[in-house]
Every structure is written in C-alpha cells, then in structure tokens.
Amino acid sequence: MKLSTFRGGVWGVLRVHPAAGPGRRVTGLSPRCLPPVGPPTGRLFLRGAAATTGGGTNPKLASNFGKHSLKEDVPECDRSLREVVQSTREAMVTLLRRNPTIKPVLAIIQADEDDSALEINQKVAGMVGLNITHIYLTKECSEDEIVEEVLKLNEDPGVHGVCLQLPSSVLTSRVANALKPEKDVDGITDLNMGRLVRGDFSKGFVPPVASAVVDLLEKHDAPLEGKTVLLVGSEGPLGFALQCLIEGSGMVALKSQWSSASLQRQVMEANAVVLLGEGDIDVPPTWVRPGAAVIRCEDEMETSAKLGLRYLTAAYRIQNAVRSSSRWLQEQQYRPWQLRSLKLQTLTPVPSDIEISRAQTPKPVTQLAEEIGLLPGELEAYGRNKAKVRLSLLDRLHTQPDGNYVLVAGITPTPLGEGKSTVTIGLVQAFSAHLKLNSFACLRQPSQGPTFGVKGGAAGGGYAQVIPMEEFNLHLTGDIHAITAANNLVAAAVDARMLHEATQSDKALFNRLVPSVNGVRKFSPIQISRLQRLGINKTEPTSLSPQEVSRFVRLDLDPSKITWQRVVDTNDRFLRKITVGQASTEKGQIRETGFDIAVASEIMAILALADSLEDMKNRLARMVVGTSRRGQPVTAEDLGVSGALAVLMKDAIKPTLMQTLEGTPVFVHAGPFANIAHGNSSVLADKLALKLVGRDGFVVTEAGFGADIGMEKFFNIKCRASGLRPNVVVLVATVRALKMHGGGPNVSAGAPLPKEYIEENLSLVADGCRSNLRKQIQIAQLFGVPVVVALNVFKTDTLAEIDLVCQIAKECGASDAVPCHHWSQGGRGSVELAKAVKEAVSRPNNFQFLYNIEMPIVEKIRTIAQKVYGADDIELSPEAKAKVDYYNQQGFGSLPICMAKTHLSLSHMPDKKGAPTGFILPIRDVRASIGAGFIYPLVGTMSTMPGLPTRPCFYDIDLDPVTEEITGLF
C-alpha cells in the first residue's frame, strides 16, 4: 500500500522525524484525532522596484518581509498579517460565543517531506485558536488514494476546511474537484473558481495566495486604484483568480507571457507586476518603473519563497477555515422555506389517477429538500423522485419549536373508503401552494397486497395525489421488504432453535452456541444480556455450572404456543394456515403455523412507534415470539436475533421524502394495519416534519379507518409513545357514507352503487349525520381536541345535501364544516378547509387521554367499549380472561390497548350502521405486541392475511416494454 496516513488534531507545532523504514514516526501530537485534507498554495515573495531606474529594493517593503518576530518565524512589522490575524481572531471569538461547543478544524493533506508550510499554518492557526489536523501521504500515492482521503474528509462533520498541500503533478482536476466546495478553503474547485469569476463571495472562497497578493498591492506605497497591474506567466487558476480580484479592487489587470516580444514595454508601463511561476525567470530591475511593486508567486512546494508572504497566505487560509466553520454553524440553524409550488392544470372530466400523475413532472427530490431547509448530508436519494431523510435532522433542529399538528380521521367508512388520503393531500396543497404556509403531509406506505388485490393504491386520487404514484404504490424504498426479511428471520430462528434443542444435548448446544475460536471461547454481547436476564452474573463460559449451561442453552419453546408467523406482502389466502417441518431433514419437527400480510407484522408497528434507532432496537429485542413450556415469554433477544433485526431495519427507520402534484412535501413512512395494530404513519415522520415546518407551519397526518379505530389509537397509543399532542382533528365524511349510516342499502367494492347513493336523499343524509357523524365528533371531543368536518364532495352530491351535512355537523359540535373539492381542483378546492383548520388551531386545546395507563387491562378495554363504541359492557371469553391474567403476571398490565375489531361499524357487527347502542362487546381473545408496546383484544375473528377477489386489480396492470410506462394502477 503506497498510502501512509496519520491523523491528529494539534494546537501547537507538529514535529515529524524520518523513521528507519519507509514509514514515518510522528511525535508531539494531541491525542485528539480527526481526518484532514489541504490544497497547495503558491509561495510568494515581494520585491519593490527602486525609486530610481538604478534599481535596488524598496526599504519599506523589504522591512516587512526581511525580519521575523514570534520567535524568529513571523515577520514583525507586517501590518497585513496583523490585521488578518486580528480580524480572524475576532471572528473566532464571535463563533465560539454563538456555539461554545464548536471546535473549528482545518485539515491538511501533505505528500512531501517538507513540513515548513505545515508549521507556518499551525503557527498562524495557533494565533487565532484554530485546530489543525494533518494527513501524510507518501510521494508515490495514487490519485485514487488521494481522492479516497478527500472523500472521507468531505463526510467528516468535525472538519470544516480542507487544504491540499500537494505537488502540482498530483493535484489533478479530479483530486481538486473531489473536495466539497464548502470545505475548499484554498478556492481550487471549479465551482469556487466560477463563483470568484462571477463575483459571488457569499458561498465560495478566494484562493489565499490571491488574497495575499491583492492585499499587498492595496497597501503599496502609492495607491494603485485605477492603476495597471501586469500578470506575467501562467494562465492557470491563480492567474484567473488574481485577475478577478484585481479588477474587483478597482485596478486594471493586463496579462502577458514570458515569451511576449512586448514584455519589456508592458512591464515599464505597469504600476505593479505579478510574476506567476516559471521558476527563476525574473524581469530585469531596469524594466520596472520607479515606485512600481513586483510580486513573485512561486509554487508553494518550493522552499525558496520568502517567509513573509507564506505567513500572509496562511493567515488568509486560516481566515477561510474560520469562515467555513461559521457558515457550517449557520447551516445548522433552521432555514426558512423557499418552496416553489408546481402549477396544476386541471381538466374536466377528471382523467384517471395515473394519467394525472404522469402529466405532472415532479421536482428533483434534491431541489425539494433544499427548498424546505434540508441539508445535502441529511438526504439519501433513491433515484430522482424520492429520498430517505436521516434522523440527524432531529439533533440539528432540537431547539426549533414544533409546528401545528393536524390529524385526519374519518367517519365509519363504506367498503369503498371515504378519501382520508385525498383530503390529507388536498389540505397540504392548499396550505403550501395557495395560502403560502409551510405544511407537510405524513402518510402510510401502502401494502402491495391491496394494490394488486381490490383496493388499489393509496397515493390519493384525482388532483390530490403523491407523485409519482407508481413509485409510491410499488416498492417505494423497500421498507416493507426490509420488514418482511426481518420478520421471517425471526421465524426461521424460532424453528431452527426448536430443532436444535430437540436433537442435541446441553453440552453440544453450548459448544455450538459458544464456539471456541482460535482456542478462545467467549460469549457475544447478546448472550451476556441473556445470562443477566437469567440472573447468571458470569462472563467466562467455562465458569458456568451444568445447571446454568442448561438454563442458558434451552429456550424450551412450546410448539403449541408459538405466536410468531411468517409474512409476505401479497394477498394469499392459502397461506393463512400451513404445516412446516415436513422434510425428513427436520427430523419430525412438524407444526402448524401460517402467514400474515407483511404490514401486519409487529415489526411494522415497531417501525411506526419508535422515536430513534436505539428505541427501535430495544423494541425489537422485547418482541415475544412464544412461550416456553414453563410458561415464560421468549423474546427475539433470547433467540439472539435482535441485533441482526436492527441491521436489517437501519435504513427503513428513515422516512421517505416525496411530493404532491403541486410540489409540496410528503413523508411516506410505515403502514401498520389499523385493526390488529394502530394504523398510523410513523412517529419519526411526524417529528421530523414538525421541526421542518416551523412554529407557524402545519403537519397533517392520517389515521386509518374511522375515528373510533384509527383516531382512538392515535391518541391513546401513538401520542403516548411520541409525546406529541394534536391541535385539531379533521373528520372526513362523504354523502354516500352518511346515507349508508342513515339506513341506505349496503355497498360493495366493484358493484354499481344503488340509486339511493346517486340521487338526492336528504332524509338518509340527515339520519346519517345525526347518528354516525355526531358520534364520531363526540369521540374526538372525549380527547379535548377541536374538530373540523371535511365533506369530501363527489360529483353525484347535490348542493342541498352538502349544505345539510355542514349545517348538522356544526350543530353536533364541530368547530366548522367545509365542503372540499380537491379531487377535481387540487389544493384550490381545499383552501376553505385550510382556513378553517388554521382558525381551529387557535382555539383552546384541552387534550387528555381516554384512560389512565395504570388501570387494569379489563377496565381499559371496558372504557373504550363504552365511551368510544357505545357498548353497554364487555364480555371476555375464558381464553381472554386467562390471557389477561397471564399478561398481568408477566408485568404487561400497564400497556395501552389496541382494539382489533371490524372497521365497518362502531360495534363488532359489520352490518350495524349508524351509532348502535345496547350491545355487549365480546372479547374472544387477548394478545400482546410487547415490542410495539400494546395489548390487542380480538373482537370477533380478525383476518391478518387478505385474499384475492375473483377479479383482482392485477388484471388491468401492465407495462409498455418500449416506454416502460405502467398502466392500470389507480
């Protein structure tokens, strides 16, 4: 390996001595280590022309650079150096006053044996309190090796400036432009050079050499403003930089080559001459007019340059590094949005969802991220249209106040759905694209089961969609696939462990679980955790007694009490019950099990409720996969698999950024079932969005199914986990659903609507409003949150029906009720809803939970049944009672309740519409998701694996092999 590096942060001088071998021994270093880089700078010396044609040296200029102070290293009379150091020191003090924890660092990459330039940089850095870290490369290092070091420094948040102290032979364009422009304190990248040419100094950096030269020109005896400066020699980047700075300072810059026949005349006419490169070539003193300044810019890798300008160059480099630190700190602050909305051209009749989506060109996700204040390092792009957002954003904006928190819920839906997603998207389009208020939608990721089954996609609809809808509905960034892999790894671990325990002795199990590697046997960290839970406080494998070995190696899972099932993201009814272990290699370990759909996995619920990577890891470890024959719960951590699960889920925990049809931001993250789980998007997506929108912005998140299910779980489960409190509930209703609750005939997906739903019927509407709508408003009011009713208007709705719904909704306690036309008009059709929500958030909010978490499990279930569903009481089966007793015994009694019941009725009977009363709610079974953190009672039979209908959606989905366009999605 030709690359030899050492990283070390130092305040003082870094002394390096050659070692005996090819490597180098570095001494005198601070223990603090950081990665570094550094650009080569030109070394300068200044010579003044004589006052007469006889030549000689200008005494004043010579005195500036001929003597040294600071223990004979720094020129004692250099006014420029003192001024630059003083201003930089003041900037450093201001920087540390703003953030005392910041430690600005300049990294220098060096590829030669001469440390003089390093020592000069360190001395000047010491004057202002800047830390320097240093990387040595061998002279033979390759371009790839240098670029690798540069890229490491680019990603190191502890390094604020990088200097490449490299010979010109290896400082290629590729090396220079590998450096992030914001860390390029020598101004050598093409972008920074372009900024200089354009006169834009707000983001880029001026090469320190050029700054030093211009500084000296400006302080020359005779003022040079309006005078001519001749640049002789190379046409390289330094020449261009000098030309820009000289002309920007009010001087006239002319260029000439050493070979020019008119060089003597040009020198004699110039007020100052700057010599660029060309080794020892010089101009005769007799060519220089009296009082003119002559400056030579030599390659900084040469040792012949005078110390004075080397120190001044270093001072400007240090100044750039401090400026870079200040800019970095400023970048960490909250950024006001600069959102550019996309124009929406609505058509009548409204085209299909996929046609609308395809007609709009989304902004690049990197542009959207910049518009809403995300830093480039906080984004992980997945193609052009979507990106993961890193959780480090929460640390950066931890002091930023949250915005307003809006929950979209709904009345008890028809099997067709009532458009909560379209209302959510239409509302944020209205806020951001039309009212110019920051807003974020937070949506669940759809399962591919319903997408190819009967429901279709979940990207919204009409002119209120997330785009591209194909990417939203298919795969997205692979989170559901990660959940599938993690879930099935647990299932495989369960069956494998039972097989090995059934076929091996304690000693054989122990030898395989704790193998001897190179003669050393030791426990893994997760095995030590298991020993501690067992009360065995030993870390040396040979110290365990035979009884302790047996307890350690045997989980002793009861095959009849395995609760963990495999998952797949497809509607496959024939996987609901299967038999595994039938191959002869499984040695008779046959048992019945089954598959759930992937979004029903407890891992999905954990993803949605975790508030950090550490929290997710801990929740994964706590997942109970079954019960031992001794009646003890067995967890994923007992299986030794929880660390691997966290690895599989480490990217899935980051929300995915997308956009609406009008270019407003959306987070898509998690998609737990709303029956056996809580049915909300992730806590982390909401938290990130609340920081990004700012104090006066709005985050709109959606709860699955009706308010009695999704909203109740949002409040009692999600809000407990997140610590967040909503400001307002938007309750979505449709005329067709209200007619159904008012006594209309049943509807089913795929069948034509009965005439009651397409003709005006005020009686059915009124009855539905005074039953189901009233009850759902009352449920929201149980939690002390204002309610705005959003009537999702369909083309068959009449004006009289719309007015009647809004009137009765207000009579029932809604703070407002607004018809919404976002499906046909986009955000413009939800402007009145946005105004109503804005008004509602200003009203008093007396949020409270429905029950005390310490109440007994049965009492918590009873409270939900009576206050939310309207039941008279509950009735637990013997099996449910036994489970409640078991959970209490295991210490799970203080978990919140996640009721698993039908979403088609407030009761447990799907055909009972409106607001049923006088019923007893039967609790068939009680189960627990310990990792997710809730108990879920089963009301009736709940299917966790949907089946395909006679004619699934996939009949209409196809791909054009030429254009690669997808058809048939909706």
The SS3 assignment for 62 reads: helix
Asked whether the beta carbons of 440 and 393 are under 8 A apart, the reply is no
Of the CA atoms within 13 Å of residue 808, those in its CB half-sphere come to 24
- The torsion defined by the Cα of 447, 448, 450 and 455, in degrees rounded to 10, comes to 100
Which tokens go with 732?
A: 């979505």
Query: Is 651 a residue of the active site?
Result: no
pLDDT on residue 533: 93
- The DSSP secondary-structure symbol of 881 reads H
For residue 136, list its beta bridge partners.
110
- What are the start-end ranges of the H helices in 69-207? 79-98, 116-128, 143-154, 173-178, 190-198
What whole-number percentage of the chain has pLDDT above 90? 69
Closest CA to 679 of 410, 362, 359: 410
Phi-psi region of 179 (alpha: psi -120 to 50; beta: other; left: phi over 0): beta
Residues 6 or more apart in contact with residue 886 via CB below 8 angstroms: 631
Asked whether the beta carbons of 438 and 402 are under 8 A apart, the reply is no
**What domains can you pick out in the chain, each with its CATH number?**
186-298 (3.40.50.720), 353-477+651-842 (3.40.50.300), 480-649 (3.30.1510.10), 857-938 (3.10.410.10)
| Confidence tier at 112 by pLDDT (50, 70, 90) | confident
Q: What sign for the dihedral angle of Cα 802, 804, 807, 811? A: negative
pLDDT on residue 426: 98
What's the pLDDT tens digit per position in 645-655?
Answer: 999 999 999 99
Judged against a pLDDT cut of 50, whether residue 39 lies above it is answered with no
| Confidence tier at 299 by pLDDT (50, 70, 90) | low
Closest CA to 448 of 898, 823, 932, 952: 952
Q: Choosing from 184, 186, 215, 708, which is the catalytic residue?
A: 186
* Cβ-count burial 638-667 (b if 16+ within 10 Å, e if not): bbbbbbbbbebbeebbbbbbbbbbbbbbbb
Judged against a pLDDT cut of 50, whether residue 1 lies above it is answered with no
The SS3 assignment for 465 reads: strand
Residue 814 burial class via C-beta count within 10 angstroms: exposed 0-12, middle 13-18, buried 19 and up: buried
Which tokens go with 55?
A: 């030549």
Q: Choosing from 78, 115, 122, 123, which is the catalytic residue?
A: 123
E runs forming strands in 703-778? 728-733
Closest CA to 771 of 558, 888, 572, 915: 915
Query: Is 165 a residue of the active site?
Result: yes
Question: In the chain, helix, strand, coil percent, each to 5?
Answer: 40, 20, 40
Question: Distance between CA atoms of 528 and 539, rounded to whole angstroms?
Answer: 7
User: What is the rounded average pLDDT of the residues 642-664?
Assistant: 98
Residues 6 or more apart in contact with residue 612 via CB below 8 angstroms: 391, 684
The mean predicted confidence, pLDDT, of the chain is 88
Judged against a pLDDT cut of 70, whether residue 44 lies above it is answered with no
Q: What sign for the dihedral angle of Cα 176, 181, 186, 190? A: positive
Question: Distance between CA atoms of 966 and 585, rounded to whole angstroms?
Answer: 44
E runs forming strands in 326-478? 379-381, 387-389, 404-410, 439-443, 460-461, 464-467
Closest CA to 923 of 869, 854, 861: 861
CA angle (41, 45, 51) in 5-degree steps: 150
What's the pLDDT tens digit per position in 912-921?
Answer: 999 999 999 9
Query: Is 755 a residue of the active site?
Result: no
Residue 506: phi and psi, rounded to 5, are: -60, -45
Judged against a pLDDT cut of 50, whether residue 610 lies above it is answered with yes
pLDDT on residue 115: 82
Asked whether the beta carbons of 408 and 702 are under 8 A apart, the reply is yes
Q: Choosing from 122, 165, 445, 465, which is the catalytic residue?
A: 165
Question: Distance between CA atoms of 770 and 179, rounded to whole angstroms?
Answer: 66
Question: Distance between CA atoms of 360 and 344, rounded to whole angstroms?
Answer: 8
Residues 6 or more apart in contact with residue 42 via CB below 8 angstroms: 209, 238, 297, 298, 299, 300, 313
Asked whether the beta carbons of 53 and 61 are under 8 A apart, the reply is no
Please state which of the ranges 68-72, 375-379, 568-572, 958-962 shows the lowest mean pLDDT: 68-72
Closest CA to 334 of 724, 695, 723, 699: 695
User: What is the rounded average pLDDT of the residues 643-669?
Assistant: 98
What whole-number percentage of the chain has pLDDT above 70? 90
Highest mean pLDDT among 20-29, 412-421, 850-859 belongs to 850-859
Q: What pTM, to 2 d.p., does this model score? A: 0.85
Judged against a pLDDT cut of 70, whether residue 424 lies above it is answered with yes
- The torsion defined by the Cα of 202, 93, 89 and 375, in degrees rounded to 10, comes to -30
Question: Distance between CA atoms of 107 and 111, rounded to whole angstroms?
Answer: 13
Asked whether the beta carbons of 792 and 409 are under 8 A apart, the reply is no
pLDDT on residue 283: 84
Question: Distance between CA atoms of 601 and 422, rounded to whole angstroms?
Answer: 26
Asked whether the beta carbons of 445 and 429 are under 8 A apart, the reply is no
pLDDT on residue 752: 87
Which tokens go with 765?
A: 């509407």
- The DSSP secondary-structure symbol of 279 reads T
In this structure, are strands 379-381 and 920-923 parallel, antiparallel, or unpaired? unpaired
What's the pLDDT tens digit per position in 331-354?
Answer: 899 999 999 999 999 999 999 888
Distance of CA 651 to the CA centre of its chain: 10
Please state which of the ranges 42-51, 190-199, 534-543, 871-880 shows the lowest mean pLDDT: 42-51
Question: Distance between CA atoms of 104 and 325, rounded to whole angstroms?
Answer: 6
What's the pLDDT tens digit per position in 183-209?
Answer: 999 999 999 999 988 888 888 899 999
E runs forming strands in 675-741? 698-702, 728-733
* Strands ordered across the beta sheet of 42-48: 42-48, 293-299, 272-276, 228-233, 252-256
- The DSSP secondary-structure symbol of 132 reads E
Judged against a pLDDT cut of 50, whether residue 61 lies above it is answered with no
Judged against a pLDDT cut of 70, whether residue 73 lies above it is answered with no
Q: Cα(first)–Cα(last) distance of the chain, in Å?
A: 56
Question: Distance between CA atoms of 442 and 275, rounded to whole angstroms?
Answer: 61
Residues 6 or more apart in contact with residue 349 via CB below 8 angstroms: none
Asked whether the beta carbons of 851 and 864 are under 8 A apart, the reply is yes
Asked whether the beta carbons of 186 and 197 are under 8 A apart, the reply is no
The SS3 assignment for 731 reads: strand
